[in-house]
């Protein structure tokens, strides 16, 4: 317990320094500030912090959490910061691990690789960014929109920076590892950053000398389907977020066997249905035990943790008109329609496309919303987070009783709806089988695309009014008696009933994708709304990987909640939308006696852990 108190004090100190720093930085770079602190620290020319080399950051000290869903397997890992305070503990631990390490590296064929393992690793890490740049076209073909040019990496300049970016400076041997110096100010970051970039450029020529391990790494790179910014826990370490498609589990496991330095004497926290299903395979192939955690509990715990520790983790969309195909939308109230009534009605369809174009433009132009699909953090939104001074509902999630109860709508393959009364008290109140995989499955069946990114990309370009039957199609205008606007979707895919429309539709996969997206999203919105009313909550938290890079869906949900509740309910989203369960699983696997695990303990975790 003494240990824990110490950390808490550290934490407080660090939080203080971080917030002062961030205000300072924001003064320097005002345009990007509104979005995210970590991105604001990046030079504008840098693209996504997509991490090309998978477990690059993960040392043998990393702690893992998996959420193995039906479609996606979410992976988070925590890499502790080597800090003076715990150095002795870590060293002890590390020396204990030396004995284990050879086991972990058995897979290496070449002796020299084995010998120079750490050196090699670092070289590769730096290379990988440019490698990917070169191999970009190849990747794009394979994964469609899934793969983005990504120079990575060392941008985890925050305090928790680990081996990947820093250790090159140090002696390769882990035993001799010297803790990374805490970066105390922005200059330090910039210096480090420049170094990384330089490294990346100069090492282009080296990429031919690929070790076997690098080949594995590249394979890993193909497996990942999304990327999220890491979360720094000041003074403690960094949490990284990855995920891959569950059907590639075997592949993942065999790669894991080669790359992952997890001591085999401890279990990996896991949740989701796959935690049970793949339990044996983990042991067989990778040699890991899974420590299973309840799915819903992990989810709630993960949300709580993320909301409190990640910068601007939660956000909401500003209230305002967004007409992107909202269903069952009533006509504007008479006072608004009297002003610009006719133009608004007739312009509805236009509004959709204009709005989308605008959103897209924002995505593209804004350095912060760094890609169409990878941009998990849209602009023009209001954030909540630990570093913001205004309405920080979630920052106070554990202390602010007013936030409870709230609803969690977790949109994964399917949808689960939970009512959360406290971190320990929650209940699954509903769910639906029309979830993310329904969207993906339908789009795949209809268009032949085969990834979520591809499907989302199609949907962004699409115009569902060619596919959906609108109120206007049926009534020739607004259905005034029932107060339904002509642009309201009356029946998803309803236009396909006409044979001629059908053949046209087959040639426009993007329209189909959009219709599928709207169908699933609107339905979730309706259910969320109804459950929110039934559960009598004011806040609805939407999570789940379906929302990854899915601004359209998030906006729709936000508007729907706001509209139907007449402003009384709030839709809240998480930047790490799909990973809460994995974080919860990670937290669940911690032991109070383990010094590294202690780094993750905080006031939100019941002491009995």
Partner 1 sequence: MESCSGEAMSHNGSNIPHTPSRLQLDLSGAAIQGSIEDRNPAIVLPNQEDDTYHLAIDLGGAGSLIKLVYFSKQSDVSALGNASPCSPFSRSDSGKAGILSRQQARFPTQGGRLHFVKFETSKLSDCIEFIKSKGLNCYDIEDIANGIQSEEGSIIKATGGGAFKFADMFKEKLGVTFDKEDEMSCLVAGANFLLKAIRDEAFTHLEGHKQFVQIDPNDLFPYLLVNIGSGVSMIKVDGDGIFQRVSGTNVGGGTFWGLGRLLTKCRNFDEILELSQRGDNSSVDMLVGDIYGGLDYTKIGLSASTIASSFGKVISDEKDLSGYRREDIALSLLRMISYNIGQIAYLNALRYGLKRIFFGGFFIRGHAYTMDTMSFAVSFWSKGEAHAMFLRHEGFLGALGAFVSYDKLGLTNLTSHQFVERFPMGAPYAGGKIHGPPIRDLNEKISWMEKFVQNGIEITAPVPMAITGTTGLGGFERPLSHSSSLRSDSSAALNVGVLHLVPSLEPFPLLADPKGYEPNTIDFSDPEEQEYWFGILSDQLPDLVQKAVASEGGTDGAKRRGDAFARAFRAHLARLREEPAAYGKLGLANLLELREECLREFHFKDAYLAIKQRENEASLAVLPDLLLELDNLDQDERLLAIIEGVLAGNIFDWGSRACVELYQSGTILEIYRMSRSKMQRPWRVDDFDTFKMSWDRPHFRALLFVDNSGADIILGMLPLARELLRRGTEVVLVPNSFPAINDVTVMELLNLLEEASKFCEILRKAVKAGGCLDDKRIGEQDSAANSSEASFPKLLVVGNGCGSPCIDFRQVSSELATIARDADLVVLEGMGRALHTNYTAHFKCDSLKLAMIKNQRLAEKLIGGSIYDCVCRYEPRTQL
Exactly one of 12, 247, 250, 609 binds partner 1 (CB under 8 A); that residue is 247
> Under a CB-based contact definition with an 8 Å cutoff, are residues 293 and 64 in contact?
no
Exactly one of 398, 438, 487, 550 binds partner 1 (CB under 8 A); that residue is 438
Q: Which of 439, 107, 84 is nearest to 253 (CA)?
A: 107
What minimum distance in Å lies between the beta carbon of 343 and partner 1? 23
For residues 71 to 110, the per-residue mask of contacts with partner 1, x marking binding by CB under 8 A and - elsewhere, is x---------------------------------------
Q: Which one of the spans 6-14, 31-39, 241-249, 387-395 is the region binding partner 1 (CB under 8 A)?
A: 241-249
Helix, strand and coil percent figures for the chain, each rounded to 5: 50, 15, 35
270's CB contacts (< 8 A; 6+ apart) are 65, 66, 67, 68, 279, 282, 290, 291, 292, 293, 585, 589
Exactly one of 482, 568, 603, 606 binds partner 1 (CB under 8 A); that residue is 482
Nearest-Å Rg of the Cα atoms of the chain is 24
What minimum distance in Å lies between the beta carbon of 342 and partner 1? 19
> Under a CB-based contact definition with an 8 Å cutoff, are residues 230 and 240 in contact?
yes
- The answer to whether 277 contacts partner 1 (rule: CB under 8 A) is yes
Query: Is the CB of 29 or the CB of 538 nearer to partner 1?
Result: 538
For residues 47 to 76, the per-residue mask of contacts with partner 1, x marking binding by CB under 8 A and - elsewhere, is ----------------------xxx-----
Say whether 389 is catalytic.
no
Query: Is the CB of 96 or the CB of 445 nearer to partner 1?
Result: 445
Query: Is the CB of 90 or the CB of 268 nearer to partner 1?
Result: 268
Rounded to whole angstroms, the Cα distance separating 428 from 110 reads: 51
What minimum distance in Å lies between the beta carbon of 374 and partner 1? 20
| Near partner 1 in 439-478, by CB under 8 A | 440-442, 444-446, 448, 450, 467-469, 473-476
The tokens of 398 are what?
């554990």
What minimum distance in Å lies between the beta carbon of 582 and partner 1? 15
HSE on the CB side for 105, CA within 13 Å?
A: 20
Q: Which one of the spans 153-161, 244-252, 393-401, 565-573 is the region binding partner 1 (CB under 8 A)?
A: 244-252
Query: Is the CB of 269 or the CB of 509 nearer to partner 1?
Result: 509
- The answer to whether 498 contacts partner 1 (rule: CB under 8 A) is yes
Tell me the sheet residues that pair with 241: 76
385's CB contacts (< 8 A; 6+ apart) are 310, 311, 312, 313, 314, 315, 392, 394, 395
Q: Which one of the spans 51-59, 423-431, 549-557, 570-578 is the region binding partner 1 (CB under 8 A)?
A: 423-431
The tokens of 58 are what?
């993960």
Query: Is the CB of 44 or the CB of 534 nearer to partner 1?
Result: 534
Exactly one of 49, 146, 234, 436 binds partner 1 (CB under 8 A); that residue is 436
Rounded to whole angstroms, the Cα distance separating 523 from 540 reads: 15
Concatenate the DSSP letters of all residues of 401-444 into one string: GGG-SEEEEEESSSEEEEEESSSS-EEEEEEES-SHHHHHHHHH
- The answer to whether 420 contacts partner 1 (rule: CB under 8 A) is no
| 3-state secondary structure (DSSP) of residue 232 | strand
What minimum distance in Å lies between the beta carbon of 375 and partner 1? 23
What minimum distance in Å lies between the beta carbon of 372 and partner 1? 20
Measured from the Cβ of residue 466, the count of other Cβ atoms closer than 10 Å reads 17
What minimum distance in Å lies between the beta carbon of 171 and partner 1? 45
Under rule CB under 8 A, how many of the chain's residues touch partner 1? 73
The tokens of 531 are what?
């459950």
Q: Which of 121, 129, 126, 167 is nearest to 150 (CA)?
A: 129
What minimum distance in Å lies between the beta carbon of 1 and partner 1? 32
Query: Is the CB of 178 or the CB of 506 nearer to partner 1?
Result: 506
- The answer to whether 509 contacts partner 1 (rule: CB under 8 A) is no
- Name the burial class of residue 328, with classes exposed (0-12), middle (13-18) and buried (19+) by CB atoms within 10 angstroms of its CB: middle
For 233, left (φ over 0), alpha (ψ -120 to 50), or beta? Answer: beta
- The answer to whether 347 contacts partner 1 (rule: CB under 8 A) is no
- The answer to whether 172 contacts partner 1 (rule: CB under 8 A) is no
> Under a CB-based contact definition with an 8 Å cutoff, are residues 324 and 356 in contact?
yes
Concatenate the DSSP letters of all residues of 260-283 into one string: ----TTSPEEEESHHHHHTHHHII
Query: Is the CB of 167 or the CB of 492 nearer to partner 1?
Result: 492
Exactly one of 175, 506, 591, 609 binds partner 1 (CB under 8 A); that residue is 506
Exactly one of 124, 151, 496, 547 binds partner 1 (CB under 8 A); that residue is 496
What minimum distance in Å lies between the beta carbon of 287 and partner 1? 19
Strands (E), 422-511: 426-432, 469-470, 489-491
Catalytic residue among 295, 313, 551, 577: 295
- The answer to whether 393 contacts partner 1 (rule: CB under 8 A) is no
Exactly one of 47, 135, 179, 273 binds partner 1 (CB under 8 A); that residue is 273
Concatenate the DSSP letters of all residues of 155-217 into one string: T--STT--HHHHGGGS-S-STTPPPPPPP-SHHHHHHHHHHHHHHHHHGGGGGGS--HHHHHH
305's CB contacts (< 8 A; 6+ apart) are 580, 583, 584, 587, 604
What minimum distance in Å lies between the beta carbon of 322 and partner 1? 17
What minimum distance in Å lies between the beta carbon of 356 and partner 1? 19
| Near partner 1 in 526-565, by CB under 8 A | 526-527, 530-531, 533-534
- The answer to whether 278 contacts partner 1 (rule: CB under 8 A) is yes
Exactly one of 122, 398, 432, 589 binds partner 1 (CB under 8 A); that residue is 432
| Near partner 1 in 112-141, by CB under 8 A | none
Exactly one of 49, 65, 430, 578 binds partner 1 (CB under 8 A); that residue is 430
Query: Is the CB of 165 or the CB of 291 nearer to partner 1?
Result: 291
Rounded to whole angstroms, the Cα distance separating 191 from 202 reads: 17
440's CB contacts (< 8 A; 6+ apart) are 71, 452, 455
CA 120 vs. chain centroid, Å, equals: 29
Query: Is the CB of 114 or the CB of 533 nearer to partner 1?
Result: 533
| Near partner 1 in 281-340, by CB under 8 A | 294-296, 327-328
Exactly one of 4, 257, 428, 538 binds partner 1 (CB under 8 A); that residue is 428
Rounded to whole angstroms, the Cα distance separating 488 from 331 reads: 9
- The answer to whether 269 contacts partner 1 (rule: CB under 8 A) is no
> Which residues does the annotation mark as catalytic?
295
């Amino acid at each position: 317990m003494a240990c824990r108190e110490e950390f808490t004090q550290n934490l407080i100190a660090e939080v203080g320094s971080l917030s002062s720093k961030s205000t300072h930085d924001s003064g320097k770079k005002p345009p990007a500030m509104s979005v995210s602190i970590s991105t604001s620290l990046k030079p504008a020319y840098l693209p996504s912090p997509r991490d090309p080399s998978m477990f690059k950051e993960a040392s043998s000290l990393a702690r893992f959490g998996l959420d193995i869903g039906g479609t996606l397997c979410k992976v988070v890992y925590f890499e502790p910061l080597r800090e003076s305070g715990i150095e002795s503990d870590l060293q002890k631990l590390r020396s204990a691990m030396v004995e284990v390490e050879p086991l972990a590296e058995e897979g290496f064929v070449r002796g020299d690789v084995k010998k120079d393992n750490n050196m090699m690793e670092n070289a590769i890490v730096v290379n990988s960014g440019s490698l990917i740049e070169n191999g970009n076209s190849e990747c794009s073909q394979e994964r469609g929109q899934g793969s983005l040019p990504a120079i990575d990496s060392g941008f985890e300049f925050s305090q928790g920076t680990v081996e990947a970016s820093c250790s090159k400076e140090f002696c390769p041997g882990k035993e001799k590892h010297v803790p990374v110096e805490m970066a105390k100010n922005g200059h330090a970051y910039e210096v480090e950053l420049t170094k990384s970039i330089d490294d990346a450029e100069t090492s282009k020529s080296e990429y031919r000398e690929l070790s076997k391990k690098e080949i594995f790494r590249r394979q890993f790179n193909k497996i990942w389907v999304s990327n999220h910014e890491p979360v720094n826990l000041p003074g403690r370490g960094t949490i990284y977020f990855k995920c891959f498609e569950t059907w590639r589990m075997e592949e993942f496991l065999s790669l894991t066997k080669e790359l992952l330095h997890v001591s085999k004497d401890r279990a990996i926290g896991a949740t989701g249905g796959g935690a049970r299903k793949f339990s044996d395979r983990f042991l067989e192939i990778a040699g890991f035990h899974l420590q299973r955690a309840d799915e819903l509990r992990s989810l709630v715990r993960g949300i709580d943790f993320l909301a409190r520790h990640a910068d601007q983790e939660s956000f909401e969309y500003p209230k305002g008109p967004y007409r992107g195909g909202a269903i069952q939308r009533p006509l504007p109230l008479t006072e608004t329609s009297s002003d610009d009534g006719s133009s608004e009605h007739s312009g509805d369809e236009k509004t959709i496309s204009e709005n989308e174009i605008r959103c897209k433009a924002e995505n593209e132009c804004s350095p912060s919303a760094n890609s169409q699909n990878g941009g998990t953090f849209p602009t023009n939104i209001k954030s909540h987070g630990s570093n913001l001074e205004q309405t920080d509902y979630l920052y106070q999630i554990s202390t602010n009783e007013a936030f409870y109860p709230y609803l969690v709508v977790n949109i994964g393959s399917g949808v689960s709806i939970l009512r959360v009364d406290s971190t320990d008290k929650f209940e699954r109140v509903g769910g639906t089988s029309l979830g993310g995989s329904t969207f993906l499955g339908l789009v795949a069946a209809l268009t032949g695309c085969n990834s979520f990114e591809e499907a989302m990309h199609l949907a962004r370009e699409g115009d569902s009014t060619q596919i959906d039957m609108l109120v206007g199609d049926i009534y020739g205008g607004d259905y005034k008696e029932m107060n339904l606007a002509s642009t309201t979707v009356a029946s998803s895919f309803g236009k396909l009933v006409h044979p001629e429309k059908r053949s046209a539709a087959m040639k426009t996969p993007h329209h189909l994708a959009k219709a599928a997206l709207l169908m699933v999203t609107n339905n979730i919105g309706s259910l969320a709304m109804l459950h929110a009313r039934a559960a009598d909550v004011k806040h609805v938290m939407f999570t789940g990987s379906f929302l990854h890079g899915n601004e359209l869906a998030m906006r729709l949900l936000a508007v729907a909640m706001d509209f139907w509740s007449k402003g009384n309910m709030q839709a809240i989203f998480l930047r790490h939308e799909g990973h809460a369960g994995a974080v919860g699983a990670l937290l669940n696997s911690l032991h109070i006696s383990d010094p590294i695990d202690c780094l993750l303990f905080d006031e939100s975790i019941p002491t009995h852990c």
